Amino acid sequence: MTFFSIIVPTYNRAHMIRRTLDSVLNQSFKDFELIVVDDGSTDNTEEIVASYNSPQILYFKKENEERGIARNFGLEKAQGRYVNFFDSDDVMYPHHLEKAFENLEALSSPKVLCFPFDYLDSEGKLTGTKTGFDGDITTKVLESNFIHLNGAFIARDILDSDLKFCEDRKFKVSEDWYFFVRISMKHSILGIQESTSGYYIHEGSTMSSISSEEYQVAYGYFESLFSEQAYRNPKAVRKVKSEFYSMTALALALENKPMQAIRFLVNSFFQEPETIFRKRTLGVIKNLFYAERRG
């Protein structure tokens, strides 16, 4: 059995995907398959992938149905013992798989192991590193969306019809958080505080184009989980509510809807007062100020 299945869903990223593919094929640990799921691209993505002529790359092209379905499609093709979903605009560091293998072996094959990631600007320069990945992070997953799929290694045998990605096309934001929350309700999630991948921030990234309505769709899915045993902790529920209220407030501010943005921001403060010190709050206030001056 192949040890790792790397699943890379992609859509119209021919101009970026070579960087990602190079980083995967340059791994020091070689026991992996690379499954590229082309979600209906209209550019020359297929040509780029074919140019590698690598037996480790399995390429599948399907009609466009969004990331959730594309990831589940790749999962159906996966033969590895562990699965790593990876975005087509990011990069693995050369030790990404090696570190995962070493720690999975040392920790007696946990069902889920996660590593942090570095934030990179469009030029590839380091701008920050995600923290909070020490030890058992199962409870933290219920409170905060801090895990990125790029750094998560998930045992293939727990990903079945009950544990897979939501396939609602309208669920475009925090769907990975929802995925990990549902996993955390059944399995422990362990973390290692060592960055093994880089997350690029650029204009075409998903988070740069999320609408307030899409945040509300996402919140609806989380709200449906609040009756579950794992969410009986009021602190966790307040943190989730505060997170979505503040994200929605920022989207509304960017959409030039000041009164609605203020209402969601105030609701965020009521749920978790320390939200006032977050960078996102400053972003909401800044955009409201500029909107007023433009008006």
Dump pLDDT digits (tens) for 67-124.
999 999 999 999 999 999 999 999 999 999 999 999 999 999 999 999 999 999 989 9
55 and 188 assigned to the same domain:
yes
Distance in angstroms (rounded) separating the CA atoms of residues 230 and 71: 25
Supply the range of the domain harboring residue 268. Answer: 210-294
pLDDT at 278: 87
- Work out the mean pLDDT of the chain and round it to a whole number: 94
pLDDT at 279: 87
Task: Render the burial of 14-35: b for 16+ CB within 10 Å, e for the rest.
Answer: bebbbbbbebbeebebeebbbb
200 and 232 assigned to the same domain:
no
pLDDT band per the 50, 70, 90 thresholds, residue 22: very high
250 and 177 assigned to the same domain:
no
Tens-digit pLDDT profile for residues 165-208? 999 999 989 999 999 999 999 999 999 999 999 999 876 655 55
DSSP assignment letter at 239: H
Distance in angstroms (rounded) separating the CA atoms of residues 107 and 244: 34
120 and 180 assigned to the same domain:
yes
Distance in angstroms (rounded) separating the CA atoms of residues 235 and 208: 29
- Does this model's pTM top 0.85? My answer is yes
Phi, psi torsion values for 119, nearest 5 degrees: -85, 130
pLDDT at 35: 98
pLDDT band per the 50, 70, 90 thresholds, residue 275: confident
